Amino acid sequence: MADDRGPTPEKPEAGVLSGVRVADFSRVLAGPYATMMLADFGADVIKIESPAGDDTRAWRPPADDAGESTYFGSVNRNKRSVVCDLSTSDGLATARRLATTADVVIENFRPGVMERFGLDEQTLRETNPRLVFCSITGFGRDAGAALPGYDLLVQAVGGLMSITGAPDGEPSKVGVALVDVLTGLNAFSGILLALRQRDATGRGSRVDVDLLGSLLAALTNQASGTLATGRSPARLGNAHPSIAPYELFRAADRELVVAVGNDRQFAAFAGVLGRPGLADDQRFATNEARVRDRDALRGILEPLLTSRTAADWVDALTRARVPAGLVNDIGEAFAFAESLGLEPVVTSVDPETGRTSRQPATPIRLDTAPAAHRTPPPLLGAHEARWTDER
């Protein structure tokens, strides 16, 4: 690691990535999600922002108690914010100093922007051969380089919307920017791989991640089925193309899901319903048969399930080792995780202002080097003074 990086107050606590500095030029979601994960495990992430700040700072409501955007807050904890106006010589000089002394640079600008400012991989590597340079694009660096990388657009052109929604309804997006999150996870993984390679070779490498490629890889069984058969799947609502019953049902009071994954579970499910003979019915005796006759099976199951409350069914099915659960809202989902001892919520406190932020906990748990949720998402330029008069 370089040793001329300037002052490092609020240095991350010891973590598996302690000593790794990240110059984060990314905005909105995919890049900030990746760098937040790095920061959670000890990396020193410097969020380099324009004078207007990351776009998501203005994406509200909702806002937290301090009036800050909760969207921005969701992916920017444990970071420091430095404003660099790249249109000025001072701002550009600060950005270059941060980039040339970093272990990792991550960016998601339009093609040519980093080159225009002398912050591209080739230029930075001349003085920092150990640099890991991560570039996030919507559609790659070739023919799709100029296409705008918005999550909704990628969900549409990448096929996800075509398989999401009711069979007789319109295509639907997922309720969160899932493609951005997947891409952020891929960027996080790619950076870790590049750091591991640097440990072995002494040289950094380039990591390229794009939204469309991340989505296509995440389509997994739907993608492999299409490639093998030449036929694209249709929307099935909440049903599964290869398993039945594996979908949403209405109980007496609210919805629940039943996720039968094998014949044993179906036999147990039929027993709980008081219809054990269903497991011997040739229409439903095997998973392949149940998928083929899913409509007939659903016609039998629906009136049975509406006879009791959803919670009653979930309790009875869980005791019979049949996967089932309520359709929780997000608040109920956090409460459910709390009831299981998962500690899904963390609170970080700004040591200088006392400002607090409650966020979902990092889902990766390392027993020897756990994640640390140290500080709330930074206010714009909150760490500007740290870089004043830096050598």
Q: What whole-number distance in Å separates Cα of residue 207 and Cα of residue 16?
A: 20
Q: What digits encode the pLDDT tens for the residues 339-353?
A: 999 999 999 888 878
What's the rounded mean pLDDT across residues 242-261? 97
Strands (E), the chain: 21-24, 44-49, 79-83, 104-107, 132-137, 206-210, 246-250, 255-259, 324-326, 345-349, 356-360
pLDDT per position as a tens digit, 33-88: 999 999 999 999 999 999 999 999 999 999 998 899 999 999 999 999 999 999 99
Report how far residue 166's alpha carbon sits from residue 143's, in angstroms, rounded to the nearest whole number.
34
* Interatomic CA distance for residues 274 and 307, integer angstroms: 12
User: Above 60 in pLDDT, residue 269?
Assistant: yes
Mean pLDDT across the stretch 104-126? 95
Instruction: Count CB neighbours of 260 within 10 A.
Output: 24
pLDDT at 386: 57
287 and 204, same domain (yes or no) = no
Work out the end-to-end distance of the chain between its first and last CA atoms, rounded to an integer number of angstroms: 17
Q: Do 133 and 202 lie in a common domain? A: yes
Q: What is the mean pLDDT of residues 318-327?
A: 98
Answer yes or no: is pLDDT of 200 > 60.
yes
Indicate the DSSP class of residue 216: H
> What CATH number is given to the structural domain containing 319?
3.30.1540.10
pLDDT-derived band at 30, boundaries 50, 70, 90: very high
Q: Is the pLDDT of residue 11 over 50?
A: no
**Residue 256 and residue 206 share a domain:** no
Which of 155, 334, 336, 325 has its CA nearest to residue 247?
Answer: 325
DSSP state of 63: B
User: Going by C-beta distance under 8 Å and a sequence separation of 6 or more, which residues neighbour residue 74?
Assistant: 359, 360
Say if 7 falls within a structural domain.
no
Last residue in a domain, options 299, 314, 338:
338
The pLDDT of residue 2 is 38
| Set 40, 44, 180, 350: catalytic member | 180
Evaluate whether 149 touches 143 at the Cβ level (below 8 Å).
no
Q: Active site includes 180? A: yes
Is residue 5 domain-resident? no
> Tokens for 348?
């970080």
Domain that holds residue 180: 21-218+345-387
For residue 161, what is the DSSP state? G
Tokens representing residue 331 in the block: 């608040």
At residue 26, does pLDDT exceed 80?
Answer: yes
| Pair 42, 169 in one domain | yes
Residue with tokens 């973590």: 15
Phi, psi of 259 (to 5 degrees): -120, 75
For the chain, how big is the Rg over CA atoms in Å?
25
Tell me the pairing of strands 246-250 and 255-259. Answer: antiparallel
- Judge if 302 and 359 occupy the same domain: no
Residue 239 falls within a domain, yes or no? no
Mean pLDDT of the chain: 93
pLDDT digits (tens, 9 = 90+) for 135-146: 999 999 999 998
Task: Let me know whether 175 and 211 are in one domain.
Answer: yes
- Asked if 57 and 380 count as a contact pair (C-beta separation under 8 A), the reply is yes
